[in-house]
């Protein structure tokens, strides 16, 4: 079959490579425009080799429109004459005109067990909410967000300390395998779609920088889940408040739940408990221990390194900048 790949970033790359290695003909790639470093990151960030570089190595035509849904974007697809669109982390909802450029429409490789976590950041929100498993669902594309019939689905356990980036790296090859499987079924006319239960749908909106702000009043496991969910982007952050000093922003890279300490129950959430470790009181009188931190203007470091160079005095706490 003549295929067009639409996608950007780490989650899409294994699928693109698998399609290129298959017996099918990839006639074009649609990917996000090149952007300055740090812009438009999240699930559609250009990382690793990059979709564009993979395509150019194979002499595959590349289109990078700001919107594929314009008449110009539709015309490019028509000129490529695809039979199927294969979409992974592309970052745009496709119009009916785009889907109509192919005989078989499009399939989307979505990194959740739909109908749960519809949206742009399903991996991060699954970790944030403490899910024990997630997976990949291949859906028949419609003009509604992640609402099409399910054509294949497979679950995968989430590791207790796994970050969103680490989980994405494990889910991406699964998505590639399922996408190739469904592509073969579509060509053979053997697909069997299953409608999603709308009542079970949950949302996974695009991550914004402000989603990284840590709420220390949440229970310990929730705080640690949040930190894991925000890596690699936008990262979880907080502000260090100390006497007679302006609040200082810090990125929290890794933290673990530890046994509750008696003194934590009587302290405001976010209070740093003095000692040899970087221990913070959180909601319900619970405690987390920070293991990796990146202070403002400095490199990432272990908590032990941070404490060697920064004496944390009683009364110091983490929290929002203005709290």
How does pLDDT run across 70-87, given as a tens digit for each residue?
999 999 999 999 999 999
Same domain membership, residue 226 and residue 125: no
pLDDT top residue among 34 and 295: 295
Same domain membership, residue 190 and residue 223: no
Domain final residue, candidates 200, 217, 232: 200
Residue 292, domain CATH: 3.10.25.10
**Residues recorded for the chain:** 323
| pLDDT computed for residue 219 by the predictor | 95
Q: Can you tell me the distance from the alpha carbon of 136 to that of 116, in angstroms, rounded to the nearest whole number?
A: 11
User: CB count, 10 Å around CB of 177?
Assistant: 16
Same domain membership, residue 225 and residue 173: no
| pLDDT computed for residue 17 by the predictor | 96
| pLDDT computed for residue 145 by the predictor | 83
Average pLDDT over residues 167-173: 97
Average pLDDT over residues 54-78: 96
The pair of three-digit structure tokens given for residue 278, joined into one six-digit string: 């970087």
pLDDT tens digits along 191-246: 999 999 999 999 999 999 999 999 999 999 999 999 999 999 999 999 999 999 99
> Do the beta carbons of residue 106 and residue 83 sit within 8 Å?
no
Same domain membership, residue 300 and residue 196: no
Among candidate residues 71, 75, 63, the one with its CA nearest the CA of residue 6: 63
Same domain membership, residue 150 and residue 19: yes
pLDDT tens digits along 26-45: 999 999 998 765 444 444 44
Q: Can you tell me the distance from the alpha carbon of 196 to that of 211, in angstroms, rounded to the nearest whole number?
A: 28
Q: Can you tell me the distance from the alpha carbon of 144 to that of 133, in angstroms, rounded to the nearest whole number?
A: 25
Q: In which residue are the tokens 């959740």 written? A: 112
pLDDT tens digits along 10-23: 999 999 999 999 99
Same domain membership, residue 24 and residue 133: yes
| pLDDT computed for residue 263 by the predictor | 66
Average pLDDT over all residues of the chain = 93
Same domain membership, residue 249 and residue 194: no
Same domain membership, residue 98 and residue 31: yes
Domain final residue, candidates 144, 174, 200: 200
User: In whole angstroms, how far apart are CA 188 and each of 106, 135, 137, 194, 240?
Assistant: 16, 25, 20, 18, 60
User: Of all residues in the chain, what percent carry a pLDDT higher than 90?
Assistant: 86
Same domain membership, residue 248 and residue 183: no
Q: Please count the CA atoms within 13 angstroms of the CA of 145 that sit on its side-chain side.
A: 16
Give residue 49's domain range: 2-200
Among candidate residues 302, 286, 292, the one with its CA nearest the CA of residue 227: 292
Among candidate residues 135, 75, 146, the one with its CA nearest the CA of residue 107: 146
- Residue by residue, DSSP assigns 272-322 as EE-SSS-EEE-GGG-EEEEEEEEETTS--EEHHHHHHHS-PPTT-EEE-TT
Same domain membership, residue 185 and residue 228: no
Q: Can you tell me the distance from the alpha carbon of 241 to that of 238, in angstroms, rounded to the nearest whole number?
A: 10
Three-point CA angle 23, 77, 101, nearest 5°? 90
pLDDT tens digits along 140-163: 998 888 889 999 999 999 999 999
Of 51-60, 103-112, 204-213, 260-269, the poorest mean pLDDT is in 260-269
| pLDDT computed for residue 143 by the predictor | 84
| Total domain count, the chain | 2
Q: What are phi and psi of 316, to 5 degrees?
A: -70, 145
Same domain membership, residue 243 and residue 129: no
Is residue 46 pLDDT above 70, yes or no?
no
> Do the beta carbons of residue 198 and residue 116 sit within 8 Å?
no
User: Of all residues in the chain, what percent carry a pLDDT higher than 70?
Assistant: 94
Domain final residue, candidates 148, 177, 200: 200
Same domain membership, residue 162 and residue 17: yes
> Do the beta carbons of residue 229 and residue 164 sit within 8 Å?
yes
Residue 103, domain CATH: 3.40.50.170
Instruction: List the alpha helices (DSSP H) in the chain.
Output: 13-21, 51-57, 71-80, 96-99, 122-128, 164-188, 220-229, 303-309
């Amino acid at each position: 079959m003549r295929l067009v790949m639409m996608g950007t970033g780490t989650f899409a790359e294994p699928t693109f490579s698998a399609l290129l290695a298959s017996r099918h003909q990839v006639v074009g790639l649609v990917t996000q425009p090149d952007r300055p470093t740090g812009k438009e990151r999240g699930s559609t960030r250009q990382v690793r080799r990059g979709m564009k570089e993979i395509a150019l190595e194979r002499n595959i035509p590349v289109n990078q429109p700001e919107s594929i849904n314009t008449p110009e974007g539709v015309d490019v697809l028509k000129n490529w004459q695809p039979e199927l669109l294969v979409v992974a982390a592309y970052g745009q909802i496709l119009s009916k005109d785009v889907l109509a450029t192919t005989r078989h429409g499009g399939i989307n490789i979505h990194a959740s067990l739909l109908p749960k976590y519809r949206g742009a950041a399903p991996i991060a929100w699954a970790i944030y909410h403490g899910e024990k498993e997630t997976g990949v669902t291949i859906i028949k594309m419609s003009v509604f967000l992640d609402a099409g019939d399910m054509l294949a689905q497979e679950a995968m356990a989430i590791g207790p300390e796994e970050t969103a980036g680490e989980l994405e790296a494990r889910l991406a090859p699964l998505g590639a395998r399922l996408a190739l499987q469904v592509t073969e079924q579509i060509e053979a006319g053997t697909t069997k779609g299953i409608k999603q239960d709308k009542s079970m749908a949950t949302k996974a909106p695009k991550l914004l920088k402000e989603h990284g702000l840590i709420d220390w009043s949440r229970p310990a496991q929730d705080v640690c889940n949040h930190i894991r969910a925000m890596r690699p982007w936008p990262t979880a952050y907080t502000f260090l408040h100390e006497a007679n000093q302006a609040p200082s922003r810090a990125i929290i890279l890794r933290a673990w739940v530890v046994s509750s300490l008696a003194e934590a129950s009587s302290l405001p959430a976010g209070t740093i408990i003095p000692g040899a470790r970087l221990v913070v009181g959180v909601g319900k009188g619970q405690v987390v221990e920070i293991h990796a931190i990146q202070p403002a203007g400095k490199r990432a470091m272990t908590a032990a390194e941070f404490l060697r160079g920064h004496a944390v005095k009683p009364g110091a706490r983490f929290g929002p900048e203005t709290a």
